[in-house]
Amino acid sequence: MLAAVLLAGIGTLTPAETLAEDTQLSLNGPAAVLMDTASDTILYEQNADAHYDPASLTKLVSVYLALEQIPAGTELTMTDSAFASYDHSSSVLWIKVGESLSVESAAAASLLVSANDTTAMLAEGAAGSVDAMVTAMNTQVSDWGLENTVFTNVFGTHDDSQYTSASDMAVMVSQVVKNDTFATLFGTQRYEMTDTNITAYPVLVQDCELLDSSSGSYDARVTGCKVGSTEAGGYAAAVIAESGDSRYVAVVLGEADAASAYADIRTLLDYGFSSYHTVKVTREEIGTTTVAVQDGNKHTADILFSPASDYDILLPASIDASSLSTTIEVTNEDSTDPEEITADVVFLVDGTEVGREAMLKEVTTLYSGGELTGFKAFQQNLDYFSLGVAGVFLLIGLLHQIHVHLRPPE
Query: Which is more confidently placed, 11 or 38?
Result: 38
Residue 251 and residue 114 share a domain: yes
Residue 185 and residue 111 share a domain: yes
Out of 60-64, 192-196, 377-381, the most confident range is 60-64
Residue 307 and residue 195 share a domain: no
Helix pair 130-143, 116-127: axis angle to 10 deg: 80
Helix or strand holding residue 117 (H, E)? helix 116-127
Q: Which residues, other chains included, contact 37 with Cβ-Cβ below 8 Å and sequence gap of 6+? A: 174, 240, 247, 248, 249
Q: What is the pLDDT of residue 45?
A: 97
Lowest mean pLDDT among 246-260, 367-381, 384-398: 367-381
What count of other Cβ atoms lies within 10 Å of the Cβ of residue 377? 14
pLDDT tops 50 at residue 104: yes
Condensed to tens digits (0 to 9), the pLDDT of residues 54-95 reads 999 999 999 999 999 999 999 999 999 999 999 999 999 999
- Do residues 136 and 155 touch, judged by C-beta distance below 8 A? no
Q: How many domains does the chain have?
A: 3
Residue 307 and residue 229 share a domain: no
The residue from 262, 280, 298 where one domain ends is 280
Residue 385 and residue 299 share a domain: no
Residue 380 and residue 356 share a domain: no
Q: What is the pLDDT of residue 7?
A: 47
Q: What is the pLDDT of residue 297?
A: 87
Residue 243 and residue 176 share a domain: yes
The residue from 261, 280, 299 where one domain ends is 280
Name the band, by pLDDT with cuts 50, 70 and 90, for residue 15: very low
Q: Which domain holds residue 30?
A: 2-280
Condensed to tens digits (0 to 9), the pLDDT of residues 385-408 reads 555 656 666 666 666 666 556 556
Measured CA distances, 281 to 99, 271, 285, 307 (Å): 51, 24, 7, 10
Residue 261 and residue 168 share a domain: yes
Q: Give the bridge partners for 199, in sequence order.
A: none
Residue 23 and residue 107 share a domain: yes
The residue from 251, 280, 309 where one domain ends is 280
Residue 8 and residue 146 share a domain: yes
pTM, 2 dp: 0.81
What's the rounded mean pLDDT across residues 101-122? 97
Q: What is the pLDDT of residue 82?
A: 98
Q: Give the SS3 label for residue 333.
A: coil
Spatial distance between the Cα atoms of 47 and 101, rounded to a whole number of angstroms: 41
The average confidence (pLDDT) of the chain is: 89
Condensed to tens digits (0 to 9), the pLDDT of residues 332-364 reads 999 999 999 999 999 999 999 988 999 999 999
pLDDT tops 80 at residue 256: yes
Residue 52: which CATH number? Answer: 3.40.710.10
Residue 339 and residue 265 share a domain: no
pLDDT tops 80 at residue 243: yes
Spatial distance between the Cα atoms of 100 and 53, rounded to a whole number of angstroms: 32
DSSP structure class, residue 151: -
Residue 301 and residue 230 share a domain: no
Condensed to tens digits (0 to 9), the pLDDT of residues 125-155 reads 999 999 999 999 999 999 999 999 999 999 9
Lowest mean pLDDT among 96-110, 112-126, 260-274, 346-360: 346-360
